[in-house]
Amino acid sequence: MSHAGGITKPKHGEKMIEVKIKFWTNDIANREGYIMPKHAWGSGVVYMERNESHGIIPRNPRHFHSLMDISSVIEKVLIQHEITLNKDRVMEKYLE
């Protein structure tokens, strides 16, 4: 389903585009199969949530290996899903 160049009335709850970030929590606790609450590694995955109104079908998650990687991985996920970001007033300061 392509929405390029057109407009669509979204279904309830589908106005926004969601990018999810998950951090690994395995092997932090000193006991197999357990976690340490509120502790995570500085690595994990970034992925898109399904959104039929926007025509988004999730593809494979992309891994990041440090907090410094997250922004570039988010950018790659957006590109992979053909998401176009429109500049707002704040972004205009940086682009013009």
pLDDT higher at 66 or 14: 66
Phi–psi pair at 23, nearest 5 degrees = -105, 140
Predicted confidence at residue 1, as pLDDT, reads 45
Position 27, amino acid: D
Q: What tokens were used for 73? A: 């991985």
Contact (Cβ atoms closer than 8 angstroms) between residue 74 and residue 83 = no
State the pTM of this model.
Answer: 0.82
Is residue 45 helix, strand or coil?
strand
Dump pLDDT digits (tens) for 40-88: 999 999 999 999 999 999 999 999 999 999 999 999 999 999 999 988 8
Predicted confidence at residue 90, as pLDDT, reads 84
Question: pLDDT band for position 6 (50/70/90)?
Answer: confident
Residue boundaries of the structural domains of the chain: 19-95
